[in-house]
Amino acid sequence: MAAEPTRLPEALASFALRHLGPGAGPAVARLRASHPDADEATLRSLVINRGRRRVVAEGAFVGGPFLVFIPVAFCGALLSQVRTVLELAATEGRDPADPERAAELLVLQGVYEDTVTARAALDTHAAAPRARPGRGRTATLWELVMRMARLLGLLTASGEEQSSRVARIGQWVLVACVFLVGLVAPLVWLPYMAVSYNRATTRMMDRAVVFYVGSRDLRAPRRVRFDPSMVAAGLRATASLLLPLVGLLVVAATDTRIAGGQWPVAGIVLTASCLLTGGWWLWRRHSRRREPPS
């Protein structure tokens, strides 16, 4: 993908079909066995809800000092979205490893308008020789990240009308503000990215259900529900502001200086607090994963 960012959708669809397609059918079979009383609509709901949580968990990892892992987290979230679509196709009796699923993925992502064009693009991609990066690594990585964000639906909703210029400018201003605040308080990224991934994945799953099932009921507005996990994430993000603010206040009150100035001290305090809050979050996640189920 880094060698040829413009072919990212085709490369991702081909990779997902080879590596995720064979496991999608058994995963749905296990889910159906664990819920023997579930009808087809309930089974689809279970697949979508599980997939949406998986995408949010993958994507929200891009917080704080771990911004360098944005490409990895974006790719993980994309593969989780694709895996959910393949499982959804399996619930409708379609073979998730069939090459037709790759063409359908490209249509659902808004890359192509129909599966015929998507299949032709996949055939061209498979026959083309492997390219080599022609530009610097930074420029190539930036283009790759932007394309992954568009496929995820974080920048523009695939398959929907383009937003106005004012709305796009507002989105970029919001992203810039969250980024700047996130440099000081890493956990601010968690609720912001969780909401973004949840909204984008919901839109894609709606399109997938309409594509595979033909139902239009999912176009109706959803009722906003109270989500305790999102409230807890917001409180943790707000609390993460306290550590760097207290550190800066201590530096100002004690007039601590390095090389005759306070700016080096402030930089050290901000960096250390960023690493501490991010490390604490990772340690908490690791500890909870190792806890025995209740």
Q: Inform me whether the pLDDT recorded for 214 exceeds 70.
A: yes
Give the model's confidence band at 64: pLDDT under 50 very low, under 70 low, under 90 confident, else very high. very low
Angle of the 137-152 helix axis to the 8-19 helix axis, nearest 10: 70
Residue 255, pLDDT above cutoff 80 = yes
Residue type, position 123, single letter: D
DSSP assignment, residue 128?
A: S
Residue 35, pLDDT above cutoff 50: yes
Number of helical H runs and strand E runs in the chain: 12, 0
- Residue 83: is its pLDDT beyond 90? yes
Q: Look at 180-189, 237-246, 267-276 and tell me which has the smallest mean pLDDT.
A: 180-189
Find the mean pLDDT for residues 79-101.
92
Whether residue 62 has pLDDT greater than 70: no
For the stretch 146-178, pLDDT in tens is 788 778 777 654 444 445 677 667 767 777 777
Q: Which has the minimum average pLDDT: 60-64, 89-93, 280-284?
A: 60-64
Please enumerate in sequence order all residues whose Cβ is within 8 A of that of 163, keeping only pairs 6 or more positions apart, or say none.
Answer: 156, 171
- Other CB atoms closer than 10 Å to residue 187's CB: what's the count? 23
Tokens of 280: 């604490």
Q: Which residue has the higher pLDDT, 116 or 195?
A: 116
pLDDT given at position 65: 46
- Residues 262-279: tens digit of each pLDDT: 888 888 888 888 788 778
Query: Mapping DSSP to helix (H, G, I), strand (E, B) and coil, where does residue 213 land?
Result: coil
Tell me the C-alpha distance between 124 and 65, whole Å. Answer: 39
pLDDT at 91 over 70: yes
Cα Rg of the chain (Å, integer):
22
* Calpha distance 3→158 (Å, rounded): 24
What is residue 222's predicted lDDT score, i.e. its pLDDT?
46
Average pLDDT of every residue of the chain: 78
Global pTM value: 0.68
Position 220 scores a pLDDT of: 38
Average pLDDT over residues 77-103: 91
Stated length of the chain? 294
Q: Is the pLDDT of residue 84 over 90?
A: yes
